[in-house]
Amino acid sequence: MVRDWIPDQPGAWVMALAPALAGAVCGSAWSATKPDAAPSAAGWWVLACWALCYCVEFTAARWLKSHCAARYLSPAIGYCVALAVVGLPFLVMHFDVLVWAPIYVALAAVACAGAWFRRERSLWANAAAVIAASLMATITLHYAANSPSLPQASLPGLVLVLCFAATQFGSVLFVKTMIRERGKLPYVVASWIWHVALLAWWIAAADRSWYLVALGVILLVRAIALPLIACKRTVKPVVVGITECFTSLIAFGCIIANVLIAL
């Protein structure tokens, strides 16, 4: 069936692709402004490969969650073939990308375990997904910049990774307080503590840029206000989804702006 081939979670698409896209944008900006860099499409090539990786993960997770139902096997195989077609030429040209293979093999194993045991919504499975997506920021940054002064692991890349990981895991906690764990005080407290710590970190680290401080305030207000509103009246999941859509866009813009100022 056609719908078995299409990842149907817009929020997951955003969380999976936003860090990689941010890395490609910042890397391209670096390439355009630094004398030791040369224009390269490699970062965007990695982004395309990562989008296919997400499709592989989504369809393979469905197959594993169903305990290997034949219905879900074809989409998983199809996306694996597409990934091989797009990714193998990149691997041949950029063999050094395999330095990241051990980390992603471990994260893939966690994702597979979460799907098989039907715990893909657990905090540990969510954390693995956030780490996998966030690490892509430094990878696409490196290949898009195409500069010897910006290695696989760099300070701008680390900033991107940490900012996306922190905001995305905060979103995981927030969404749980509004939907699956609504009304459970430990999750609400954990979400509030996380967002307060995030804002404090960004205030302490603020130098020339206050984009992250503004973002931290927005995320904290969201994390506090909506659960309190939900105590008084029903907040539909679609409202939570729309809120997450806007805050994800704001986070994407603020994180990129913070890095671009420092380049």
The CA-atom distances, in angstroms, between 198 and each of 33, 215, 220, 229, 255 are 31, 10, 9, 22, 13
- The answer to whether the predicted template modeling score (pTM) of the entire model surpasses 0.85 is yes
Which mean pLDDT values do the consecutive 10-residue runs of the chain (263 residues) have?
76 92 95 81 97 96 93 94 98 95 97 95 96 98 87 89 98 94 93 97 86 97 95 88 92 95 80
- The pLDDT of residue 251 is 97
| Closest listed residue to residue 230, CA positions, set 188, 168, 258, 173 | 188
**Domain parsing of the chain, residue ranges:** 1-150, 154-263
- The pLDDT of residue 159 is 94
- The pLDDT of residue 1 is 66
Contacts of the segment 172-179: beta carbons below 8 A, 24+ positions apart: 172/123, 172/126, 172/127, 172/130, 173/223, 174/219, 174/222, 174/223, 174/226, 174/244, 175/11, 175/240, 175/244, 177/223, 177/226, 177/227, 178/226, 178/227, 178/230, 178/235, 178/237, 178/240, 179/237, 179/240
- The pLDDT of residue 3 is 77
C-alpha count within 13 angstroms, C-beta hemisphere, residue 242: 6
Q: How far is 118 from 131, CA to CA, in rounded Å?
A: 20
